Amino acid sequence: MSTEGPSRQEATAARVKALESMLIERGVMTTSMVDRIVDIYENQVGPQLGARVVAKAWNDNEFRRRLLDDATAACREMGIGGLQGEDMVVLEDTDAAHNAIVCTLCSCYPWPVLGLPPNWYKGPQYRARIVREPRRVLADDFGFTVPDSVEIRIWDSSSEMRYWVLPQRPAGTEGWSEEQLAALVTRDSMIGVGPVKAAP
């Protein structure tokens, strides 16, 4: 019989469940409110929506131009928008330049297309180091090596301007549907700290 205690993830889940139960018991929230919040973050906002936008931009040059010109409006065309997505700017990766985002003051982030910000994005270590030594942070912390020949550009999000990345389309995906392409797009690739998945 194991004497080990619960993992950090299990302990966090238990605390969240206890807090949820307490709020419901005290009438602060209802179970339907909790279900609605879960539905929003599972289906209505999140990286799966950003992946759909990226896939459309890869397959539709006119849409890509609109996305780079006014990301908020282009996303609205696809029914994507809302709180924390009012002023979005999309940065396109190229053979010569790779983009990554940070919020050095807090954790401003385009929630409608990327979902909730990951804990590391909010942490002081990432916020300070990605600005000073981006190539090293990408390699050491994320296992993502950007060739020396490629310039790394760091963009500082704020409450007035929330950046995210249009990564490069992987080779070997010509003729793919938007659904197939979206499956290759990761949250980290839209933050700029990781690659898209390679085509099989």
- Could you list the residues known to form a binding site for Fe(3+), using ranges: 103, 106-108
Q: DSSP readout, 152-175? A: EEEEE--SS-EEEEEPPPPTT-TT
User: In which band, very low, low, confident or very high, does the pLDDT at 134 lie, cut at 50, 70 and 90?
Assistant: very high
pLDDT at residue number 2: 47
Q: Which of 62-66, 104-108, 181-185 has the lowest mean pLDDT?
A: 104-108
Token duo for residue 167: 């990564």
Structure tokens at 92: 């396109």
- Of 106, 158, 159, 177, the catalytic one is 106
Q: What is the pLDDT of residue 4?
A: 59
- Catalytic, 103? Answer yes
* Catalytic residue list contains 159: no
Which residue ranges make up the annotated binding site? 103, 106-108
Residue 176 phi/psi, 5° resolution?
-75, 150
Dist CA 158 CA 160 (whole Å): 5
106 belongs to the catalytic site: yes
Average pLDDT score over residue span 64-75: 97
Mean pLDDT calculated for residue range 27-36: 78
What is the pLDDT averaged over residues 20-41? Answer: 77
Closest CA to 191 of 124, 125, 132, 107: 107
Which residue is catalytic, options 7, 32, 75, 103? 103
Residue partners of 146: CB distance under 8 A and separation at least 6 = 98, 135, 138, 139, 152
Bridge partners, 91 (sequence order): 165
How far apart CA 159 and CA 148 sit, in angstroms, is 32
Give this prediction's pTM.
0.80
**Average pLDDT of 15-21?**
79
- Catalytic, 75? Answer no
Give the integer Cα–Cα distance in Å for 113 and 101: 14
Share of the chain above pLDDT 90, in %: 64
pLDDT: which is higher, 26 or 101: 101
| Residues, the chain | 200
* pLDDT at 30 (0 to 100): 85
In the structure, what pLDDT confidence band is assigned to residue 1 with cuts at 50, 70 and 90?
very low
* Per-residue pLDDT band at 6 (split at 50, 70, 90): low
Strands 97-102 and 162-166: unpaired
